[in-house]
A = this chain, B = another copy of it.
Amino acid sequence: MYSTLKEFIKRKGEIDNKSLDEICSHFQLLKTKRNEILLSYNQIATNYYFINKGSVRLFTNTKEGQEISRYFAFEGNFVTALPSFIDQKPAEEFIQTIERSELLYISRIDFYYLVDTMPLFAKIYTEIIELGFIVSQKRIYGFQGFDALEKVKWVIQNQPKLLLKVSNKMAASYLGISPSTLSRIKSKL
């Protein structure tokens, strides 16, 4: 049950098995169906999720009621509504599984307990944030001044799983193009 999470942690630095088990003991298993909402708009995020299996997305609605996908996370990654999780203010987004998934979640309390008491976990947190930051930057920079075709190529290059695992509609809103345009582009490679 914890093997993927343990792998993830071990990749971040040397750690003894006792500490590893200590960390894992704070995570609980959650099995979900497809399209299950883990956090709703205006709720306060109190869990950090590690994806054992499956896929999760963050999204919001435009004022016209259309869904905009913000972020996709797949197997072996952490995900939460970070601004809400950090500052404990209402989330301006939803967290949702997009397929049957197996998640390990840790409460914010336990999470910060680990950050404060285990230096390696603090380091892991810093690295999650650093990586998140770098990935966001790449996404901004990757998209700046790109036309629709270039965006699609960029995503294929940088997040190869995305177009395979995610519906057209979701991918299109993530890329900021219309579903029709994405469909047309895909049909030409």
Contacts and interface: CB of A to CB of B under 8 A. Distances in A.
Interface of A: 60, 62, 68, 70, 82-83, 86, 93, 122, 125-126, 129-130, 132-134, 136-137, 139-141, 143-145, 173-174, 176
A87 to B, nearest CB: 9
A135 to B, nearest CB: 9
Contact of A140 (B82, B86, B125, B140): B140
Given A83-B134, A134-B83, A137-B136, A144 B173 contact: yes
A173 B143 CA distance: 12
Chain A contact residues: helix, strand, loop or mixed: helix
B129 A82 contact: no
Contact of A136 (B126, B140, B173, B174): B140
Contacts of A126: 125-126, 129
B134 A82 contact: yes
A126 B137 CA distance: 17
16 contacts: A60-B141, A62-B145, A68-B144, A70-B140, A70-B141, A82-B133, A83-B134, A93-B141, A126-B129, A129-B130, A133-B133, A133-B136, A136-B140, A139-B140, A143-B176, A144-B173
Pairs of residues from A and B, 6 with the lowest C-beta to C-beta distance, nearest first: A136-B136, A133-B133, A129-B129, A83-B134, A132-B133, A144-B176
Given A133-B136, A137-B136, A144 B83 contact: no
